[in-house]
């Protein structure tokens, strides 16, 4: 749509008529300053009165149109496109997901089917990621080593896709929690956003890597990086068959809850325990409450200035009016010269 920056300047449109009314032309003097013997010839034009009248009308029309276009240009018209939603300024939020060998344990149930821990992480994290509108999200996968799978981005679809494509053992069979925290700190430190969050999900203890988890947590605390840790795994799991028949085991015996709690405490975060599918979904819902996404939307409306078009047309019609005026004047002089020579 077209909008005008200064629409009140339209009030200038009747200015020529106001000047014409207020400033009356000077009455012609009755006394002749100079006697011309051929005055009658000059005073009596020999060209067509009808042609002169027509030319005068075109001159007046061009001058009027030039003035109207000039006033229109002064209002500064502009074309405003539909609003475009801008990325919101929220948080920098990094997800660190354990893809070590133990994440293959099938101690979670989804749709009445036993699934791996990584599968349930994908299921719950997908819904969480979808809600984080306005946050820049990143993804780290860690096992024996930590790898940046997705840099910080507003593209939630890509983060979800790359998380869903993650496979167990892609980063090694062991667990490098300290390295995952260190990599997240390195990536989050580069951003300009002050609110930086790491959600770390693991089912074991630190068994690999070059950085100790608590040492990495202290560095994160110094950089104001909040870490929420999630311990994955059921309390008990029933194994069928074998020499001893049915057995009940603790599949989470390797989970280092003490370290995960300490990491969260050092950085001002919180530790959660996910023993089943509902518990993990509830944890993500609670994280949404603890770290609510930005609700204020920002829009940008592209604008294109148009004032130069009426301004150019006003200049064109001004030149046309001037040319028409001089054509009338020259015709008058030429015809009167012909009358004088006669």
CATH code of the domain in which 233 resides: 3.40.50.410
Q: What is the pLDDT of residue 167?
A: 93
Residues 72 and 135 in one domain: no
Q: What is the pLDDT of residue 308?
A: 85
Please check the confidence at residue 86 and state whether its pLDDT lies above 60: no
Average pLDDT estimate for 163-179: 93
Distance CA 339, CA 6 (A): 53
Residues 278 and 326 in one domain: no
Overall number of domains in the chain: 2
Residues 165 and 107 in one domain: yes
- Report which secondary-structure segment, H or E, holds 139: strand 136-142
Give pLDDT tens digits for 184-199. 999 988 776 778 899 9
Residues 271 and 333 in one domain: no
Helices (H), 199-276: 213-222, 257-267
Residues 96 and 147 in one domain: yes
Residues 188 and 314 in one domain: no
Domain range enclosing 147 = 92-290
The SS3 of residue 337 is: helix
Is 268 domain-assigned?
A: yes
Domain end among 290, 314, 331: 290
Residues 109 and 152 in one domain: yes
Residues 48 and 164 in one domain: no
Residues 250 and 212 in one domain: yes
Residues 265 and 313 in one domain: no
Please check the confidence at residue 159 and state whether its pLDDT lies above 50: yes
Tokens of 121: 């992480």
Listed range (68-72, 210-214, 226-230, 333-337) with the worst mean pLDDT: 333-337
Give pLDDT tens digits for 32-54. 455 544 444 444 444 455 566 66
Is 285 domain-assigned?
A: yes
Sign of CA dihedral 263, 267, 268, 272: negative
pLDDT tier for residue 175 given thresholds of 50, 70 and 90: very high
Is 23 domain-assigned?
A: no
CA 243 to mean position of chain CA atoms:
63
Average pLDDT estimate for 276-298: 76
Is 7 domain-assigned?
A: yes
Domain end among 290, 317, 333: 290
Residues 263 and 324 in one domain: no
Please check the confidence at residue 25 and state whether its pLDDT lies above 70: no
Residues 182 and 249 in one domain: yes
Helices (H), the chain: 15-22, 39-43, 49-74, 117-131, 156-164, 177-189, 213-222, 257-267, 277-290, 308-341
Is 296 domain-assigned?
A: no
Q: What is the pLDDT of residue 39?
A: 44
Q: Mean pLDDT, the chain, as a whole number?
A: 81
Q: What is the pLDDT of residue 342?
A: 47
Please check the confidence at residue 154 and state whether its pLDDT lies above 50: yes
CA 62 to mean position of chain CA atoms:
46
């Amino acid at each position: 749509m077209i909008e005008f920056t200064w629409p009140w300047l339209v009030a200038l449109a009747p200015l020529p008529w106001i000047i014409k009314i207020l400033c009356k032309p000077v009455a012609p003097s009755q006394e002749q300053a100079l006697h011309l013997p051929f005055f009658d010839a000059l005073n009596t034009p020999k060209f067509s009165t009808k042609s002169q009248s027509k030319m005068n009308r075109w001159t007046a029309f061009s001058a009027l149109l030039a003035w109207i276009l000039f006033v229109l240009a002064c209002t500064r018209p502009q074309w405003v496109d539909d609003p475009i939603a801008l990325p919101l300024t929220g948080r920098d939020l990094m997800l660190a997901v354990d893809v070590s060998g133990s994440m293959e344990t099938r101690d979670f149930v989804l749709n009445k089917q036993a699934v791996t821990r990584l599968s349930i992480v994908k299921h719950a994290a997908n819904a969480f990621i979808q809600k984080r509108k306005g946050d820049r999200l990143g993804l780290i996968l860690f096992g024996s080593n930590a790898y940046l799978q997705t840099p910080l981005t507003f593209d939630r679809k890509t983060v979800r896709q790359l998380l869903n494509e993650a496979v167990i053992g892609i980063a090694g069979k062991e667990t490098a929690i300290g390295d995952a925290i260190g990599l997240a700190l390195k990536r989050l430190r580069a951003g300009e956003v002050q609110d930086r969050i790491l959600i770390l999900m693991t089912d074991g203890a630190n068994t690999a890597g070059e950085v100790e988890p608590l040492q990495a947590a202290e560095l994160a605390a110094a950089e104001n990086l909040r870490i929420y840790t999630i311990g994955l795994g059921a309390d008990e799991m029933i194994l069928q068959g074998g020499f001893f028949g049915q057995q009940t085991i603790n599949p989470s015996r390797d989970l280092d809850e003490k370290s995960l709690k300490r990491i969260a405490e050092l950085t001002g975060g919180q530790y959660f325990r996910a023993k089943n599918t509902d518990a993990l979904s509830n944890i993500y819902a609670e994280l949404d409450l603890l770290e609510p996404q930005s609700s204020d939307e920002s829009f940008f409306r592209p604008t294109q200035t148009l004032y130069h078009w009426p301004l150019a047309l006003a200049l064109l019609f001004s030149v046309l009016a001037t040319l028409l005026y001089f054509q009338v004047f020259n015709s008058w002089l030429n015809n009167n010269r012909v009358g004088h020579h006669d």
